[in-house]
Structure 1
Amino acid sequence: MEEEIQWIQSILAGNKQAYAHIINKYKNQLYATILRMTRNPHDAQDLVQEAFVKVYHQLDKYEGKGSFSSWIYRVTINYCMDEFRKKRYKMKQVDIGEETLLNPNHPEVIFLKKEEQRQLEKLIQTLPEDERLILLLRYVNELSYHEISELVEIPLSQVRNKLHRAKKKMRDSVKQEGGYFHDEMLGSR
């Protein structure tokens, strides 16, 4: 965090090149979050670039309260949510590349992992936007409940409740279809 503060001070002092450090540190995490929100690689890439411009112009507003990572997530997600509302953003179904598998040479493992991933992505897309966002921040970005609370600016109890409701909805949906949902499916993300 101290390193980030030095980068921010350098940027605010006029060294625009220092911003590359922030971009390099956060681009993959922000892209992964936005990709799961949009399910469209092209849109996610555009939104990440635009969000970094927004972050750059708001760097002077970072007061050092809380972690910089929480602040940059908040600015990025707020920007994306504003864009979704403005454009009445439509979620597009695009396959996301499969994650690296533990034993890629074993066909059964590959098949089962792909099916589990498809099922999980489908379930996540059925959730309301606020619950989906909290679920992704918790399990994809591995943020703590407290960081999520700061990021989306809701009380800690609401973060826990929304996460619990999201998992319950996913579990109930799978049960209706005769399947089985286990929380470890989220843990592997």
Structure 2
Amino acid sequence: MLVLKKVQGGESGLEATDLELVQRCLSGEQEAFAEIVARYKKLIYSVVYNIINDKQEVNDAAQEVFLRIYKSLDRYNPEYKFSTWSAKIATNLCLDILRKKKLDHVPIEEIKEVSSRLDTPEDEYINKEKSSIINQAVSELPDKYRIPIVLFHQNGLSYEEITEILKEPMSIVKNRLYRARLILREKLMPRRKEEVL
């Protein structure tokens, strides 16, 4: 991740921990919050984009997330990773936005296949086409299945982090991920059969 401005930690010039940055923010150091933004901008924008997927709203929503993070710093519990806590705030804001819009579904950004070889233009086109089909299938999932899929597969959060963000037991999170994968497999299976023929 690109660090825009390095904030020196306490001893021997090491980079400050998230908790140190939070404490500095609470004591009035604005540069410390700029470092928090630099560290977590990619994560927050990714969560926001993948849940609301409205390019015109992403910047405003992400700025609102950072505003909420700033206002809530005094309630940050260092028992949890700062990234999990931040993603939870972002997810909650996005869920509020979706409720207000009463959207049935939202697509996620393209899922790119990792290839060990160099893709030809034809391969890139096929991969883009597959990504579009997967995006469409994910966008049609109900929120209770789509959001865990986005958090787990797109944002790389662990089961524990997702349970903390969604305030659901681990068994429910795992069950919803399992059911979401089954639904996606059923939707995508006819396509695969067509490709083979």
Q: TM-score, normalization: structure 2? A: 0.80
Identity of aligned residues (%): 28
| SS of residue paired to 2:156 | coil
**2: CA distance, partners of 1:105 / 1:135:** 27
2:185 aligns with one of 157, 171, 175: 171
Code of the residue aligned with 1:158 in structure 2: it is: I
| SS of residue paired to 1:180 | helix
After alignment, is 1-10 or 157-166 more displaced? 1-10
Partner of 1:55: 69
Cα contact 2:51–2:147 (8 A) shared by 1: yes
Code of the residue aligned with 1:179 in structure 2: it is: R
**1: CA distance, partners of 2:112 / 2:181:** 22
1:150-161 map, 5 Å: 150-161=164-175
Cα contact 1:101–1:110 (8 A) shared by 2: no
**2: CA distance, partners of 1:97 / 1:126:** 15
1:67 aligns with one of 70, 81, 91: 81
Partner of 2:91: 77
Q: TM-score, normalization: structure 1? A: 0.84
Q: Gaps spanning 5+ residues in structure 2: where?
A: 1-14
**Change over 3 Å in CA distance of 1:13–1:67 after alignment to 2:** same
**2: CA distance, partners of 1:98 / 1:77:** 20
**2: CA distance, partners of 1:145 / 1:168:** 18
- Larger CA Rg, structure 1 vs 2: 2
Partner of 2:102: 88
**1: CA distance, partners of 2:100 / 2:113:** 36
| SS of residue paired to 1:108 | helix
| SS of residue paired to 1:179 | helix
> 1:148-173: CA deviations, max 9, x gaps?
11111110111100000111111111
Code of the residue aligned with 1:73 in structure 2: it is: A
Q: Gaps spanning 5+ residues in structure 1: where?
A: 182-189
1:9 aligns with one of 23, 38, 42: 23
Q: Work out the number of aligned pairs and report it.
A: 178
| SS of residue paired to 1:59 | helix
2:152 aligns with one of 127, 138, 157: 138
**2: CA distance, partners of 1:92 / 1:149:** 21
